[in-house]
Chains A and B, each alone.
Chain A
């Protein structure tokens, strides 16, 4: 760039300072220096006057008239437009339905979670057994016994007591009990023999293992 004046450094400095002095953003020192320069430099004085006229012309209200209130109203309408689109009555109803369904699912999920926690913390064995699982452990020497339906409880208890046997399981759906020797002095074979000979016992079979 070269400057449009055939003058020295002072005019160059004045040229650069003019816009900022005019918009009052120049330092006081810069403004005072320019004032002093303009006093004895007709060229810069003319340029400064023209710059000042330019600033005055640019500060005039625009000749293009646009209604600010109407523009603001259109802006507000535009701001409201997306809100209206998102919340019409039908959509809002759907929204409540959706919220209700979501809430129901959440409640169910919480309930399932709580139940899972309860079972997990209880550590109980399940009330069912799969075919691949081993059957519940049975004490060694256990016998499966089916008493006759006419046998009284007193007779049943007396028999078990005399044979030193105790019920460890049953009765199952077929009315069978699992009994085992109460102590090691009784052998399974002896007990089995006596059970089979006892009145009121329909079946007595040793439990030898699970298939």
Chain B
């Protein structure tokens, strides 16, 4: 339950933080840490929740944008990168990048609250 809640909160934060106009592109990073502090889990689960939350946020958002755009732009950018013009690969890359940042930020949050005793 905690795990799913963490994933959900991280994902919502990842999507919603940009509504705050002063937020830099990495505004979701401290929020992912906060989620891990508030909903404490073992490090592996914390990482997984942060990763999954941001994978869904960035992967989902880019997928949604790409679908509305009929992949016009992603096909071209995936040539620049180079990803052989594959929109799916670009969406995956976006999701994994967001996921990595979310995961590692959650891990930091998790360790902030961890003590030797509450580690399983």
Question: Real complex partners, A and B?
Answer: no
